[in-house]
Structure 1
Amino acid sequence: METNNEDFELRLLKREDIRLLKRETDKEGWCDKLDFMFECYENNPDTYYGLFAKDGRLISTCQGIPLTDNIAAIAEFLTVREFRGRRYGKLVFEAVVKALGNRIIYLNALHAAIPMYVNRWRFSKTCLEGFMQCGILRLADVYKKLENVDLGTTKIEFVDKKEDVIDEIIDYDSSICSFERRRYVRNWIMKEDYLAVLARDSAGKIIGWAGVRATLETGYRLSPVYASCDKLARILFLNILTKLKDGIDVETYGIVRDDGLLDVISELFSNATNITRFTGLRSEGAEDLKHDYDKVYALFNVEETII
């Protein structure tokens, strides 16, 4: 789908456009690594649209991420500040929705944007209340919190050879996710910059895992934390942070199941941004993804980011 008039051009992004997008996202404080942005583009080039002024300036972008034949996610929806309020973003968003066909679409939105999605595009709110936060890691505080942790019969295992455990991790992920995403999980975990930690029960079965990846210019993004209980999830969260350097930026996302998680994050990071709550939305008529939330503590939006 391409649209042209005297003021703008709506088209699929090209690889060379990513550097232009990078400059604009940096202004918004996203600060993703350029290589990561190229990676995201290359995995979904046929559903990544941009709107450009005739002089070449970027106006707006939006990425569709087909997950299955029936499910998709939307990410990287951005309108450059000087062009906001003119409905340019609407053109790009609707081009992506059309490209995704009849798939159920999920996305996350800041609370202030919810009326737009609900009233204009007939999305429905799900029950997924979430947060995002970025701050500077205080490693000494992480170790302090780990001093009195009682693991019982649970064993914590840092993963050195990911190829030896990837199938186990994927099987565990499949047990708590309602749709097939093995390819996405494998692709994400096997990246060179991905660090992982596992929790196993007394029989050696995986009962939780956590990971971080260096997708930010100045640090890491936590993605994800799964566990069989809140206590174990916190332990995994703390352990994976020990693999990072003191004073580095860490960005976290999650589903708010327990306000204690937010307290822990605030205690471990200095200069943290205010918690930004978002709400999961779905296109009208769709059912919620039926994750087993008894096993999920902090559910990073893997389906939006693993591509």
Structure 2
Amino acid sequence: MGVTTELNMRKGVKVVLNPPQKLFDSFQNWISNTERWNYRHAEYKLWCTAFEKFWLYMAVDESTEDVISVVSLALQRDSDGKKLFSIGNYYCVPEWRGKGISNKLFVQVMKHVGDENCTLFGAVEMSALYATRFNFSLMNEFWHNFADINMKDIVIPAMPKGFTCKKIEENDWEKLHEYDETICDLDRRKYMKTNLSLNGTVSRLVINETGKIVGFGAVKMAYAQELIMAPLYAENLDAAVALMSSILVSVPGLRAFESLITIYPDANNDVPRLLSLISNDRFESHKAYRHQYTQELMRFPQHKIFGTDEVSHSPC
């Protein structure tokens, strides 16, 4: 942690780079109550350690040590070594909005980006602003939907024939990474292994009758008694159903949670079918985010993405 003097903030406001967990927890409380952004307790540590570089700028009220505004930036590279920056957690406490503090934080992270490619998930109400003010003008033609299931409606589906699901063991990681590389052309082996092994996570891979990996996924036990289906990658609907059947039955205290959510590309028409199966057709969904880029649009096999890993620093 360090207090940065690079930003010309108003009197009484300091900016902290990579603050301690206690301040992040305070931020988590704000975003849960006002935006319903919920993370696992160890998510912040994951970002700090699993990416090539990671910055989290936090504006803090000097007199109270209360969080005012936050923005984060991560650096990853593709298989050719080309840089991809990602911006997440762009947030301001309601009473501090409109004072220019968040904008200064955003400008600061864009200084790290320079002329490199950068991406973010633009919320519906913010998408046009990101495109015009910060040049995130390259966008997917589709949106990502936010889906919500009340846990009282959760149904554990039958395992489809021809599929086997298993816990991820040490000798499975190489093949899992190889499968992940058919989804995402980023060097994220360290990130994905840490992500799927993190406390508060139930992860599985699915194998077909020939012994080939045809998907993997996880459910994360997050803040505010929420489960998050993220990521969920599969070759087809049956493989995705197999994963959710195996994962849901393995979540400790499943019925004690309040809800299960996921964020998914509405280009994948099989996702609503999966959600119907695991909710007895009782789920809510609405348009929420769009992926936006500054230099080059990245494309992914959306028909294999049933649950996006997360909307802070994962492009799929």
| TM-score bracket for the superposition, by shorter chain length | 0.7 to 0.9
Q: CA deviation at 1:179?
A: 2.3
Is the alpha carbon distance of 1:52 and 1:298 closer, same or farther for their aligned partners in structure 2, counting shifts above 3 Å?
closer
Tell me if the contact between 2:216 and 2:232 (Cα under 8 Å) persists in the aligned partners. yes
Residue 262 of structure 1 corresponds to which residue in structure 2? 272
Tell me if the contact between 2:121 and 2:312 (Cα under 8 Å) persists in the aligned partners. no
Deviation per CA, 1:52-72, whole angstroms, max 9, x where unpaired? 334233221001011125102
Is the alpha carbon distance of 1:23 and 1:299 closer, same or farther for their aligned partners in structure 2, counting shifts above 3 Å?
closer
Residue 60 of structure 2 corresponds to which residue in structure 1? 52
Tell me if the contact between 1:225 and 1:299 (Cα under 8 Å) persists in the aligned partners. yes
Structure 2 gap ranges (5+): none
Deviation per CA, 1:203-239, whole angstroms, max 9, x where unpaired? 2111112212223341422111111123432343343
Q: CA deviation at 1:8?
A: 2.7
Residue 275 of structure 1 corresponds to which residue in structure 2? 286
Residue 203 of structure 1 corresponds to which residue in structure 2? 210
Residue 194 of structure 2 corresponds to which residue in structure 1? 187
Which amino acid in 2 is paired with 1:132?
Answer: F
Residue 116 of structure 1 corresponds to which residue in structure 2? 129
Q: CA deviation at 1:273?
A: 6.0
Is the alpha carbon distance of 1:20 and 1:150 closer, same or farther for their aligned partners in structure 2, counting shifts above 3 Å?
closer
Residue 143 of structure 2 corresponds to which residue in structure 1? 129
Give yes or no for the alignment of 1:25 onto 2:31: yes
Q: CA deviation at 1:80?
A: 0.6
Residue 155 of structure 1 corresponds to which residue in structure 2? 163
Tell me if the contact between 2:31 and 2:37 (Cα under 8 Å) persists in the aligned partners. yes
- SS for the counterpart of 2:26 is helix
Residue 101 of structure 2 corresponds to which residue in structure 1? 88
Distance in structure 2 (CA, Å) of the matches to 1:31 and 1:192: 15
Residue 229 of structure 1 corresponds to which residue in structure 2? 236
Give yes or no for the alignment of 1:171 onto 2:178: yes
Is the alpha carbon distance of 1:12 and 1:234 closer, same or farther for their aligned partners in structure 2, counting shifts above 3 Å?
same
Q: CA deviation at 1:272?
A: 5.9
- SS for the counterpart of 1:30 is coil
Give yes or no for the alignment of 1:252 onto 2:262: yes
Which amino acid in 1 is paired with 2:156?
Answer: V
Tell me if the contact between 2:56 and 2:73 (Cα under 8 Å) persists in the aligned partners. yes
**Which range moves more in the overlay, 200-209 or 290-299?**
290-299
Normalising by structure 1, we get a TM-score of 0.83
Residue 3 of structure 1 corresponds to which residue in structure 2? 7
Which amino acid in 1 is paired with 2:263?
Answer: Y
Deviation per CA, 1:165-185, whole angstroms, max 9, x where unpaired? 122111111122222211211
**Which range moves more in the overlay, 56-65 or 74-83?**
56-65
Residue 73 of structure 2 corresponds to which residue in structure 1? 64
Q: CA deviation at 1:34?
A: 3.9
Which amino acid in 2 is paired with 1:156?
Answer: T
- SS for the counterpart of 1:170 is helix
Is the alpha carbon distance of 1:42 and 1:197 closer, same or farther for their aligned partners in structure 2, counting shifts above 3 Å?
closer
Is the alpha carbon distance of 1:198 and 1:64 closer, same or farther for their aligned partners in structure 2, counting shifts above 3 Å?
same
Distance in structure 2 (CA, Å) of the matches to 1:96 and 1:134: 32
Normalising by structure 2, we get a TM-score of 0.81
Tell me if the contact between 1:197 and 1:210 (Cα under 8 Å) persists in the aligned partners. yes
Tell me if the contact between 1:227 and 1:233 (Cα under 8 Å) persists in the aligned partners. yes
- SS for the counterpart of 1:275 is strand
Tell me if the contact between 2:67 and 2:93 (Cα under 8 Å) persists in the aligned partners. yes
Tell me if the contact between 1:109 and 1:280 (Cα under 8 Å) persists in the aligned partners. yes
Which amino acid in 2 is paired with 1:155?
Answer: F
Distance in structure 1 (CA, Å) of the matches to 2:46 and 2:186: 23
Is the alpha carbon distance of 1:24 and 1:85 closer, same or farther for their aligned partners in structure 2, counting shifts above 3 Å?
same
Which amino acid in 2 is paired with 1:103?
Answer: E
Distance in structure 1 (CA, Å) of the matches to 2:101 and 2:285: 29
**Which range moves more in the overlay, 37-46 or 204-213?**
37-46
- SS for the counterpart of 2:223 is coil
